[in-house]
Amino acid sequence: MAFQLLLNFFIAVVWMFISVSFTASTFIVGFILGLIMLWIMQRFIPGRFYMSRVWAVIKLVVLFFKELFMANIQVLLLIIQPKMPIKPAIFALPTSLEKEWQITLLSSLITLTPGTLVLDVSEDSKTLYIHAINYEDSDDAINSIRDTFEKAILEVSRS
């Protein structure tokens, strides 16, 4: 990933030197040319073509905004009811993510979507403790997080 990005920057700089114009537009043209070349040569370069990873990041951002919108509507529907039928609970979410930044990202995404809140990470970083505002079933909650955020983060970090 980082190597491909460096190579792409290098190609863009070489393109600027070849065309003897040091402007941003020339750099962008060289960068796009480098992208096409890297896409052709991807079987010789270790790792996955890095634009697919950028695409995965974009998908994760879109998913996050969709979840944010839906969860806000759900919380709104909860709090405008006179009885406030909330069932607060704390449950443990076993996570398969290993790297520090993945756990941080997952915790931030869970915390930023209303209704759920990460309280703590266990000592071995294998379990997240989550507080939910309206808790019906732990399997449902765990599976919904698994299917959305964890899958998207794994998709980003797939080498």
Partner 1 sequence: MKTNDVILQTTTKVIFFIIILFSIHIFFAGHYAPGGGFVGGLLTSSGIVLLLLAFDLKTVSTMLPINYTVMVAIGLLIALGTAAGSIFFNVPFFTHAFEYFTLPLLGKQSLHTAALFDAGVYLVVVGVTMTIIQSIGEDE
Three-class SS state of 72: helix
Considering the complex, what minimum distance in angstroms separates the CB of residue 143 from partner 1?
23
- Which of these segments, 3-11, 87-95, 117-125, 138-146, binds partner 1 (CB under 8 A)? 117-125
Rounded-to-10 torsion of CA 147, 105, 93, 74: -60
Q: Which residues contact 72 (CB under 8 A, 6 or more apart)?
A: 114
Considering the complex, what minimum distance in angstroms separates the CB of residue 43 from partner 1?
34
Closer to partner 1 by Cβ: residue 124 or 139 = 124
Cβ atoms of 95 and 128 closer than 8 Å:
yes
Query: Does 98 engage in binding with partner 1 (CB under 8 A)?
Result: no
Task: Give the whole-angstrom CA distance, residue 20 versus residue 1.
Answer: 29
Q: Which of 19, 21, 23, 104 binds partner 1 (CB under 8 A)?
A: 104
Give the residues lining the site for partner 1 (CB under 8 A): 100-101, 103-104, 107-108, 118, 120-123, 125
